[in-house]
Amino acid sequence: MRIQLTSIYVDDQRAALAFYTDVLGFTKRHDVPIGEHSWLTVVSPDVPDGPQLLLEPAEHPAVGPYRDALVEDGIPLAQFAVDDVEADFERLSGRGVTFTQPPTDVGSAVVAVFDDTCGNLIQLIAQKAVPA
């Protein structure tokens, strides 16, 4: 069993695609029109055949209260692994990304949290090597 696809709810698919590709650096994998929306996925350019992130329209009535509660409590909806949180913090801050938590050492990892401009908080994480 493996994860092939996961989704994140977005307010506007086109704006989300621009943010996730132009700002974060993901690559568009699928953009298939389905009515007024699309089956719109992005992938890591490092693993183009790896797990896809579906940029799913946030139209279901449960989505708004759910995401609002997470944001209010500062809880990220998704987590992206990086090699160096500090470097990505600097790179993304330079591109105008707003961080709600700067790089923070939490013991076994370094984390940071940013606003994806699409209604979600996203956490960056770099796991520390486990001592032998």
Examine residue 97 and state whether it is found in any structural domain, yes or no: yes
Question: In terms of residue numbers, what domain contains 108?
Answer: 5-127
Tell me if 9 sits within 8 A of 57, measured CB to CB.
yes
Whether 82 is covered by a domain: the verdict is yes
pLDDT computed for residue 129 by the predictor: 85
Instruction: List, as one string, the DSSP characters of 67-84.
Output: HHHHHHHT--SEEEE-S-
The count of structural domains within the chain is 1
Q: How confident is the model at residue 54 (pLDDT cuts 50, 70, 90)?
A: very high
Band (pLDDT 50/70/90 cuts) for residue 106 is very high
Domain with 61 in it: what CATH number?
Answer: 3.10.180.10
Q: pTM to 2 decimals?
A: 0.93
**Per the domain annotation, does 15 fall within a domain?**
yes
Whether residue 132 is contained in a domain is answered as no
% of the chain with per-residue pLDDT over 90: 97
- Report CA dihedral (123, 124, 130, 131) to the nearest 10 degrees: -120
- CA distance linking residue 68 with residue 78, whole number of Å: 14
